[in-house]
Every structure is written in C-alpha cells, then in structure tokens.
Amino acid sequence: MKIITNLTSKEHMSFDIAIVTDTARTHEDIKISRIKRLHSDKLFTNVKEVMIDHENETYILRVTKQNKLILTK
C-alpha cells in the first residue's frame, strides 16, 4: 500500500509535491512525486457528475449526498 507521508503545496505551481512511501518496504524506498491538484468546484460547475475518459474506458466521478466523491467505471 502506498502512503503519502508529506504533501507540500506550491501556490506558484499547478502541482503539489508528495513524498510517497510503500508500507511493505524500508525508508530507503521513498519516492518524491508531483501531484496535480484540481479543485472540485472547478470540476463540478453546476453538475454532480463528470465523465473521465482514460485508456478507452469511461469513468464517472460523482458527488454524493454526503458530499463525498465516488469514482465508478
């Protein structure tokens, strides 16, 4: 399982920097990744669902009544 142990937001950049570790490995296997941050209010403008096309598959990301996000295929 991968765990994000640190997340640094850079206001002048369109991404965050995350330190990701694998729980099955030692601390020497730390990977620093760039993660693009999208705000949900930009995705869900006047809608509760968005369709995402990924590698010839369509996924639906929706906001629930409890204001949580669910991704389905």
pLDDT tens track for 22-65: 656 555 556 666 677 788 988 899 999 999 999 999 999 999 99
Does residue 59 sit within a domain? yes
Does residue 28 sit within a domain? no
Number of domains in the chain: 1
How many angstroms separate the CA atoms of 14 and 12, rounded? 7
For residue 56, the domain's CATH number is 2.10.70.10
DSSP states of 50-66: EEEEETTEEEEEEE-TT
Task: Identify the domain containing residue 48 by its residue range.
Answer: 40-72
Helix residue ranges per DSSP H, the chain = 40-43
- The percent of residues above 70 in pLDDT, for the chain, comes to 52
CA 16 distance to own-chain centroid: 11
Does residue 20 sit within a domain? no
Per-residue model confidence (pLDDT) at position 39? 86
Q: Is the pLDDT of residue 1 over 50?
A: no
**What pTM does this model have?**
0.58
Does residue 68 sit within a domain? yes
With cut-offs at 50, 70 and 90, classify the pLDDT of residue 67. Answer: very high
Written as six digits, the tokens of 50 are 């968005």
